[in-house]
Amino acid sequence: MCGIAGFLGVAESEDARRAMLAAMCDTIVYRGPDDRGTYIDTDVALGMQRLSVIDIAGGHQPMASEDGAVQIVFNGEIFNYRDIRRKLELERGARFRTVSDTETILRQYVAHGLDGFHELNGMFAVAIWDRRERALHLVRDRLGVKPLYYYWDGQIFAFGSEIKAILALAGTRRDIEPGAIWDYLTFRYVPGPGTMWKNIFKLPAGHRLVIKPGMEPCIERWWDIPPPNARAREQAELVKEFGDLFTDAVERRMIADVPVGIMLSGGLDSSAVAAVAVRSHGHNLKTFSVSFCDSPETDERVHARRVADHLGTDHAEVEIGERQFLDFLPHFVHLTDEPLADLASVPLYYVSELARRSVTVALSGEGADEILAGYDFDRWLMRREEMFPAPTAGPLQRLYERLGLATRGMAGGDVRHDAVPGHMTNYLSSREKGDLLSRPIEARDSLDVLRAHLQRGGCRPALDQMLYLYCQDWLVEDLLMKADRMSMGHSLELRTPFLDYRLVEWAARAPAAAKVGRGPQGDLETKHVLRRFAASLLPAEIIERPKQGFPVPVYGWLSGPLAGWARECLLSPSSALSAWCHRAALEDAVRAGTAVDADGPSRHRLWNLIILEQWLRVWTSA
């Protein structure tokens, strides 16, 4: 696990370019505090910060091919690198100099080119300089577990694991992209491929980019979630297929030359990961949980302790309160580079700090809801069946109507959250954003981002359409971005077994009943195949618990002890948002969001504005 950075097309002396690369790496030292490596030639500069996890002695980067023509830096882990290594040794006669996964990627590329990435099972953001072609290749993993950003202004091309590394490069500009603020206010994150900065972009999940000196970058998709197939199977067969893949995914993610632990919330997903890990590796695994002081209504420790006792893990907990929460916010928006109003980010940061005291790698349950239909998809499917009993296959226009994602002519750009039952976030309509913002921003319907994903995904059954959408947008831009930044902020590598691409492809092809199916009592249950698989591994109360998300008491605080702080934050003369928003609109947002009887949307909008204010203070004053 590392942080990578580099650039192309900077016409400076070698010493100057070396200093510029060092400045980029300095910004992401926490991603890889164990080692630094650089490569400089007349065309390109590559740098990396290494967190040593596999082959601690031999995995130094950048790593060169035997003839020196190919150089690689990469962030992530390849979980089947041993299999690929054996295959290269047998079929190609390859002789490896190290036992690192980095060398496996390098030799796979030399042997098979970019097509070799299809055999990699892992999380990765890779940069390869091929001197034979004078080409720089960037490749991001299938699901976007690891981030990768790039800058292009027509002359300078730069890349990095985080935006702050790019902004550290002399010659790049710090111009805010107003349209990103427009979209953020709807989604609570900035949807890709854009970012909060002009000329800086996210390389989308499952995509690769190639650029040669003096030419434009070229981007193409190299992997996508497959459509479902029609092969029917009995429940027992589905559970076995899932269980075999899931077990292998967990076991592969336990491979490391450093201690490994489990993030344990007490929910089904992380508990299932822990149960399989314990079954494979024994009962002395370390597990970690977090809770809030004096908030019994959000305290899930009783569930986490129940699982830890059941599995016999070495369990540790951390408790945080209002003070830690508020004190962390400026550092939080610095870590994320962009505004991200996901409240669960803060407890994840503190439990990552706890975990890092005793392990370097931790497994978590991210992705289960998005591939296996968690959340409230059982209720969504029941409502949908009541309203639309007809078959789901049909023209995209009909499908959009069923999903609440009608075209512009039908939705008018003023769709509210309750009109998009399948998407997690939709907090401000175009009209509401127009009333809020005082600066002229080109108005557009932010939901076009979702429509584009659905259109590309093709005509799938409604449930599979929504899961495809979640994996393209919400999962990548919110959940995985949060997971990466909060864990790497403590030099902790977070691994996600549910996002093993084989498991994702299996789930996408599986029948809907494997995802939302009938439980033992005949009721619809979410993540049906996971619950049936885990029934023999976990207590019944954990299997049957409804999805709760990560409960955070901040919204209650905003209607009580933090109400004055929220007003001061957004309405003081020094408020950064005063340059972007109408004063009266901010006052309305504060009043509605801090009311004792405030509804969920009002509190969401207030928190989104607070995070945007914090972000503007940190990033526009630098």
328-338 per-position pLDDT tens digit: 999 999 999 99
Burial class from Cβ neighbours inside 10 Å (0-12, 13-18, 19+) for residue 448 reads middle
- Indicate if the pLDDT at residue 111 is higher than 70: yes
pLDDT at 522: 82
Report residue 323's pLDDT band, with 50, 70 and 90 as the boundaries. confident
What whole-number distance in Å separates Cα of residue 443 and Cα of residue 181?
A: 11
The H or E element spanning position 38 is: strand 35-40
Q: Mean pLDDT throughout 400-420?
A: 36
Instruction: Give the mean pLDDT of 26-40.
Output: 96
Q: Is residue 147's pLDDT more than 90?
A: yes
**CA-to-CA distance for 134 and 584, rounded, in angstroms?**
55
**394, containing H or E segment:** none
What pLDDT sits at residue 263? 97
222 pLDDT tier (thresholds 50, 70, 90): very high
For the chain, the average pLDDT equals 90
Q: What is the pLDDT of residue 1?
A: 66
Q: Give me the pLDDT at residue 415, please.
A: 31
Residue 440 has pLDDT above 90, yes or no: no
Most confident of 71-80, 226-235, 452-461, 552-561: 71-80
End-to-end CA distance of the chain: 28
Domains in the chain and their CATH numbers? 2-221 (3.60.20.10), 224-551 (3.40.50.620), 554-620 (no CATH)
**HSE-up (13 A, CA, CB side) for residue 82:** 7
Q: State the pLDDT confidence band at 520, using cuts at 50, 70 and 90.
A: confident
* Type of residue numbered 317: E
Find residue 176's DSSP bridge partners.
197
Residue 208 bridge partners (DSSP): 139, 220
Residue-wise pLDDT tens digits, 8-18: 988 788 999 99
- The confidence band for 518, taking pLDDT boundaries of 50, 70 and 90, is confident
pTM for the structure as a whole? 0.93
User: Residues with Cβ < 8 Å from 389, sequence gap 6 or more?
Assistant: none
Rounded CA separation 464/472 (Å) = 12
- pLDDT above 60: residue 416: no
What DSSP designation does 228 have?
P
Mean pLDDT computed over 231-260: 94
Confidence band, pLDDT 50/70/90 cuts, at residue 64: very high
In sequence order, the 6+-apart residues with CB closer than 8 A to the CB of 50 are 2, 32, 34, 35, 36, 37, 59, 60, 61
**What is the mean predicted confidence (pLDDT) over 89-110?**
95
Lowest mean pLDDT among 36-45, 292-301, 496-505: 292-301
pLDDT digits (tens, 9 = 90+) for 350-409: 999 999 999 999 999 999 999 999 988 777 766 655 544 444 444 334 444 444 443 333
Per-residue pLDDT, 27: 98
% of the chain residues with pLDDT over 70:
91
Do the Cβ atoms of 17 and 10 come closer than 8 Å? yes
Residue 394 has what pLDDT? 42
- Predicted confidence at residue 154, as pLDDT, reads 93
Rg for the chain, CA atoms, rounded: 24
Report the SS3 class of residue 243: helix
- Predicted pLDDT at 149: 98
Which one is predicted more confidently, 230 or 315? 315
Instruction: Say what the pLDDT of residue 600 is.
Output: 87
Q: Are strands 361-363 and 493-495 parallel, antiparallel or unpaired?
A: parallel
Write down the pLDDT at residue 386.
52
Among 31-45, 94-108, 249-263, 383-397, the minimum mean pLDDT is found in 383-397
Mean pLDDT confidence for 467-476: 94
Q: Residue 335: CB partners within 8 Å, gap ≥ 6?
A: 349, 485, 486, 489
Confidence of residue 420 (pLDDT cuts 50, 70, 90): very low
What is the per-residue pLDDT for 399? 40
Residue 423 is predicted with a pLDDT of 64
Q: What is the CB neighbour count within 10 angstroms for residue 141? A: 26
Task: Enter the tokens of residue 65.
Answer: 């091919």
